[in-house]
Amino acid sequence: MTPAPTVPRTHWVEPAPGVRLWVEEHGDPQAPALLLIMGAASSGLAWPDPLVHGLAQRHRVIRYDHRDTGRSTWSFAGRPYAVADLARDAVAVLDSLGVERAHVVGMSLGGILVQLLVADHPGRLLSATVFGTCAASEAEWTRADGTKATPADLPPVDPRLIEEWSRPVEERDEAAEIEHRLHHWKLLGGDRIPFDEPFFRDQEQRVIRHTGHHTPSRAHALADQSGLVRTAELARNEVPFLVLSAPADPVYPPDHATHLSQVVGAARLEEIPGMGHALPPAVWLPLARAIEDHTARAAS
């Protein structure tokens, strides 16, 4: 996937007193807006440039740094906030750019935030696409064999990641931090697509240059996670909703996508072959095609 680079337009958005978010746009300002919401502790640059440039051929693509990532304000230590505040930040981004309605795409924590937008601000959305995430719902679901299950029956995180996340936090120099991140991405990527070390090394070097330091962000792991369940609101959703299943996801195995597709109204389920909990070059084209097909369906 090698689309022609697009010229970025950079903005600063202030969703709360003392908080500024770095925001970047690509594509025709008159095209339908497409807001990309990344996962926990991840800069907006974690949306790979070629994927962004490809989507910008048909959309006004907007990506941004969450609080405590990238160039946005790192404020959690002095002013703690809740995960739900990050969803309100997404609305503030749209408001600041004068976007009345947008297609939204969310990965991992971004997928939870998209669900909050669907539940709380459905009038602002043209469509929603999520992947690598779980349902903000406590509703039951049906397994492939026809038996009923509860969210508690969903498969857990891969033990290798649990072990990785449970290790004590260490101070690292930049080189060691990059190696640590590469190891983490290798685990997240799953076992179906060969690990593309040069791509992820370049990405993390770019994120560090963009951020201005290599200190990892831990704010989102510490943020208040209460008030995220929207069982009834999601069940009656009418926003065109696409759930992309990642068969090699070690964080949210495919049953999570099945559950999510069943408990959200107007939802469809598709699979991106080989995808794990990462965005290596091998998934860009099928991912872009799935997103573009969904936004086109929503517009028809």
Q: Which residues are marked as active site?
A: 108, 249, 277
In the three-class reduction of DSSP (H, G, I as helix; E, B as strand; rest coil), residue 79 is classed as: coil
- Distance, in Å, from the CA atom of 22 to the CA atom of 14, rounded to the nearest integer, reads 9
Closest CA to 112 of 255, 260, 221: 260
Instruction: State the residue for tokens 């593309």.
Output: 196
For the chain, the first-to-last Cα distance in angstroms comes to 26
Q: At residue 45, what is the residue type?
A: L
Helices (H), the chain: 49-55, 83-96, 109-120, 159-166, 174-188, 197-211, 219-222, 231-235, 254-263, 281-299
Closest CA to 131 of 281, 278, 293: 278
Cα-atom radius of gyration of the chain, to the nearest Å? 18
Tokens encoding 251? 């964080």
Question: What are phi and psi for residue 106, nearest 5 degrees?
Answer: -135, 135
Q: Which residues of 84-103 are buried (b: 16+ CB within 10 A; e: fewer)?
A: bbbbbbbbbbbeebebeebb
For the beta sheet containing 19-26, the strands, ordered from the edge strand earlier in sequence to the opposite edge, are 9-16, 19-26, 60-64, 33-37, 102-107, 125-131, 241-245, 267-271
β-partners of residue 63 are: 24, 36
288 Cβ contact partners less than 8 Å away, ≥ 6 residues apart? 1, 51, 54, 55
Closest CA to 234 of 259, 201, 212: 259
